[in-house]
Structure 1
Amino acid sequence: MTLHRPLLLAGLLLASLSAMAQYQWIDKDGRRVFSDRAPPADVPAKNILSQPRGGAASAAAPAAAESAAPAASAAVTAAKAPAPGVDKALEDKKKQAEAAEAAKQKADEARQVAARADNCKRAQGAKATLDSGMRMARVNAQGEREVLDDTQRAAELKRVNEIIAASCR
């Protein structure tokens, strides 16, 4: 029984704390007004002296929220909307990234075209040498020089023709 009384007293004290939540402001006639409701929307923020939960006098958003709900919801929507400068900057960054990617792809394609043209030129030179009929030699895996016979020459000519077909389009 002795434990129940302090708990009951603590519960009553906690319930009474919500009654202490009051607004205090100066109305248009210069009188101090105390209320448990937010001041009307026509009261400037500088005239609000105190709010519940230690709110500062400059916070007029709760007062406007209770008395003018549509205006407050419009303000919240406007606050959630991104700033115009941020969107423009983001769009500019996206455009720059896309332009950089396009330039990189163009450079890669140009390198591939140049490599293909070089391969074509070399293959055509090798074909001209093979078609000339003069003796050709190459170095084998052991580092020795060996002269190409007719079958090796035909295989090399076939390989060079495939390179020309692939690179010289």
Structure 2
Amino acid sequence: MRPTLPAQLPRLLGAFLLLAYGIAHAQFAWVDEKGVKHYSDRPPPPGTPASKILKTPGKPAELFATPEQAEVADAKSADAGSAPKQPTLAEREADFRKRAQDRAKEEKKAADEAQRQQAQHANCEQAQRYKNALDSGMRMTESGSDGGPQWMSDESRARHLAETNNVLAACR
């Protein structure tokens, strides 16, 4: 005679718990730089040396490893040159400050260039207005040797027009 489902329930529950036991042990264990052991279902933070990782899922646990043993293993791996050196917090801070200074210099340079271009554009517009006035043929005055107004002669108009054309040639 076959046992009924209620009679087999403890066996099924036990088999399920045995399967779940393996999943529950999918944990990481590592020792941080202060010597504190951490247990988590997530991997240790980036930059944690492999010698300080005590357990990873699928690998045997080294639960009896002490922080001193981890430091000795770190020294051995550093001597072997197997792991690239991670920058310290001070080095990363100095690098950040240098990038910020470089960015500030570039922004200042760009602002200065924009201001220079704006001034040049205003100068070119003023030269164009002056050229239009000279080309219009209307009578214009200029400052005389005594500082008073004096009518502009044709030769003076031609000289002013040539100078204005030189300025406008640089604007193009």
* TM-score (normalizing by structure 1): 0.50
More helix as a share of residues: 1
Larger Rg: 1
Q: State TM-score, norm by structure 2.
A: 0.49
